[in-house]
Structure 1
Amino acid sequence: MTIGLILLTLVLLTCLAAVGIGAFFVRKKVTAMHGMMFAMSMAMGAGLFFGTLLGILFQGDLLLSTVIGMGTGVLAGAVFGSFYSFLALLDGVLSGVMAGMMGAMLGEMIKPEDWDKTVMIMFTIALSICFLLINEILKCGNKQLIFFRIYQNPFIIGTLFVLLCFFLYSLTPFISKPITPPGLHH
């Protein structure tokens, strides 16, 4: 693992925590459908990113990467869904299982020369889910604070998102490529 990959993971975990805290505070102000969408979206983003990452890191051990990826998605879905209702929890858990499994299979199938691109694509998807959910959560919060009004401006938040992704992508390579000895080919 490289510094760039650690930074990607920390940024995503920070955004997941921010969405979780925000979702907890607005749980009484939103509908059950909002809760189901929050749980499903966060489970899908976390499961896909971490499942793909683990599929790449544990190349050749699909069972381990699948179980850990599914566990990550289930944990995210259960935490977010538990704020709202049993159906939201169930929706989040099932979405987490599916996303973790799909991410692990994707990570296992990717060629080593495409690992960094795949990690960045999955990170961008998960981060965009976080940003969209934060925007939705802020619509339910206190509208007087200037930060909330700035964050809801699509030009400012879009620029911030693009700059953050470009900065993090400049930290490549995220994963050190395996070195195969000469003469060993599949």
Structure 2
Amino acid sequence: MALVLLIVPLGLFLYFSVKRGNGLTLMEKMMNVMAGAMLTGMVVGFYFGGIFHGTFTHSLTASVASGAIAGAVIGLPYKGLPVVEGLVSGSMAGMMGAMTAEMLPISFVSSAVVILVLATVAAFLWMSQRTIDGDAVIRKETSHAYSSTWLVFTLVYVGFSFFLMAAEPPFNVETPAEPHQQNHMHTP
């Protein structure tokens, strides 16, 4: 299920990136930003869902906030409404990613997070360097600012993640005893 939710936005994002022949209409720009923000938001949600596995409020809050920021950053090259679209799509996808990570066993989440983060970084690096029929996937006039913004965001994001992991060790949540077990837990 999570794989489908990641592949569909990536496909839409690449389709509208390739379709850039004579420029995109506003709706196509918004679809492009929505697909990229959903892809990134899902990965961000999955990432924070793994860090705060078992504490749903923490993972949901961090996922929605980070997904919204990532979506807004993705919409920056297009300015205006696509920025708002990225903000909303990123926050919703972050929430879906956190919920998906919460439903899966932590052993799967912890190994999948690394693969998903690397795949997202590779996709955005490819899109920032790739040219299709002489037209860059990301506009030339905004590619420098876009790449710089994305690099700064990635560094801040990774630094913040390490700060969170140091503050509260990941994948180490104690669950309270079940009610029927509490009766048998008498201490002398």
Give TM-score, length-normalised by structure 2: 0.51
User: Is residue 39 of structure 1 aligned with residue 33 of structure 2?
Assistant: yes
Write the mapping of 1:49-128 to structure 2, written as runs, cut at 5 A: 49-120=43-114, 122-123=116-117, 126-127=120-121
Following the alignment from structure 1 to structure 2, what is the Cα–Cα distance between the partners of residues 58 and 112?
Answer: 10
1:98-149 CA-partner distances (Å, limit 9, x unpaired)? 11001111122221221234324533653464256336x63324xxxxxxxx
User: Contact conserved, 1:66 with 1:104, CA < 8 A, in 2?
Assistant: yes
Write the mapping of 1:11-50 to structure 2, written as runs, cut at 5 A: 30-31=23-24, 32-50=26-44
Task: Specify which structure has the bigger relative contact order, considering alpha-carbon pairs within 8 angstroms and separated by 6 or more residues.
Answer: 1
Following the alignment from structure 1 to structure 2, what is the Cα–Cα distance between the partners of residues 179 and 100?
Answer: 21
Following the alignment from structure 2 to structure 1, what is the Cα–Cα distance between the partners of residues 56 and 171?
Answer: 18
**Cα gap change, 1:33 to 1:138, in 2 (>3 Å):** farther
Runs of 5+ in structure 2 lacking a partner?
A: 1-16, 137-168, 182-188
Aligned length: 124
User: Contact conserved, 1:42 with 1:76, CA < 8 A, in 2?
Assistant: no
User: Contact conserved, 1:81 with 1:89, CA < 8 A, in 2?
Assistant: yes
Counterpart secondary structure, 2:78: coil
1:52 Cα deviation from its structure 2 partner = 0.9
1:30-86 CA-partner distances (Å, limit 9, x unpaired)? 323453244223322221112111111112221221121111221122123233243
Following the alignment from structure 1 to structure 2, what is the Cα–Cα distance between the partners of residues 35 and 73?
Answer: 19
Identity rate of aligned residues, in percent?
A: 29
User: Contact conserved, 2:51 with 2:170, CA < 8 A, in 1?
Assistant: no
**Could you tell me which residue of structure 2 aligns to residue 6 of structure 1?**
none
Following the alignment from structure 2 to structure 1, what is the Cα–Cα distance between the partners of residues 58 and 86?
Answer: 21
Partner residue of 1:138 out of 127, 131, 141: 131
Runs of 5+ in structure 1 lacking a partner?
A: 1-22, 142-174
**Cα gap change, 1:63 to 1:88, in 2 (>3 Å):** same
Structure with larger Rg: 2
**Cα gap change, 1:64 to 1:30, in 2 (>3 Å):** farther
Taking only aligned residues, the RMSD between alpha carbons, in angstroms, comes to 3.6
